Chains A and B, each alone.
Chain A
Amino acid sequence: MDYTTDRKRVTGLGSAKSGTEHHWHMMISSAALCGLIPMFVFTFGSALGGTYEEVLAYYQRPFPAIVAILTFLVGFWHFRGGVQTLIEDYTRGHTRKILIVCFTLLSYAAMATGIFAVIRLAL
């Protein structure tokens, strides 16, 4: 006779095994973005609309450049997690896997492109 409780028998049988950590990472990145987003909106907002020389000079200053780099880093990391949840909710099987791979690659590509561009402008 099996004395194991139902709760004990199903522990570890879930499919994902990483949901808590995923949620925790979304919480950390969203907390970071609470500060980064307002800073990015107002720095990028004042740079946009300027001439090429003005934009170059603006992003050679440390503060706007660091804010932009951090926003691309944390923002696209946060997007990667969010879009994965979206895909997991509405698709299944191979489509789900392919979409998650594609959007993960897109997130990191956009993150790397943005950071590279800011560093090149700043230096």
Chain B
Amino acid sequence: MPDVNRGNRPLSPHLQIYRPQLTSMTSIVTRITGNGLLVGSLLIVWWFLAAATSPEYFAFVDAILTSWFGDLVLFLSLWALWYHTLAGIRHLIWDSGSLLGLKSSYQMAYGIIGGSVLLTILTVLVI
């Protein structure tokens, strides 16, 4: 096995070969939301640090987080957070070996999209 030809092997087709499907798209968005959440989390950590430092520093950072820009980032982060959470739950279900069929995968994909929007609106209303 170690003397196998490594230079000229056929490569498996990658993403750009396939037509976009709900299953692949929801998976890609899971990755984007998960990593994109870094921006919002760093803002929140900064806010906590400012609150722990001094009233002046808090006023400065709090003004940024409650500005239209902060609102936009936190609103998008909120949706990303709910989306990533629901998609993560779907992964935990899949890891247990259940609901791996095409039909249930699609149903869960619709559930994630609808659920994340619904939870975002609900959270904004509650808060």
Contacts and interface: CB of A to CB of B under 8 A. Distances in A.
A6 B1 contact: yes
Interface string B56-87: 00110010011000000010001001000100
Interface in B77-127: 78, 81, 85, 88-89, 91-92, 95, 123, 126-127
Interface residues of A, number: 37
B81 A37 contact: yes
Interface residues of B, number: 34
B51 interface: yes
Q: DSSP class of B's interface residues: helix, strand, loop or mixed?
A: helix
A10 B51 CA distance: 54
28 contacts: A13-B1, A27-B95, A30-B88, A30-B91, A30-B92, A31-B92, A33-B85, A34-B85, A41-B78, A42-B123, A48-B47, A48-B65, A48-B66, A48-B127, A49-B66, A52-B62, A56-B51, A76-B41, A79-B35, A79-B38, A82-B35, A83-B38, A110-B45, A113-B49, A116-B49, A116-B52, A117-B49, A120-B52
Given A68-B48, A114-B44, A117-B49, 15 more contacts: A13-B2, A27-B92, A34-B89, A37-B81, A46-B127, A52-B58, A56-B51, A79-B41, A83-B35, A83-B38, A110-B45, A114-B49, A117-B45, A117-B48, A121-B52
Interface of A: 6, 9-10, 13, 27, 30-31, 33-34, 37, 41-42, 44-46, 48-49, 52, 55-56, 59, 68, 72, 75-76, 79, 82-83, 86, 110, 113-114, 116-118, 120-121
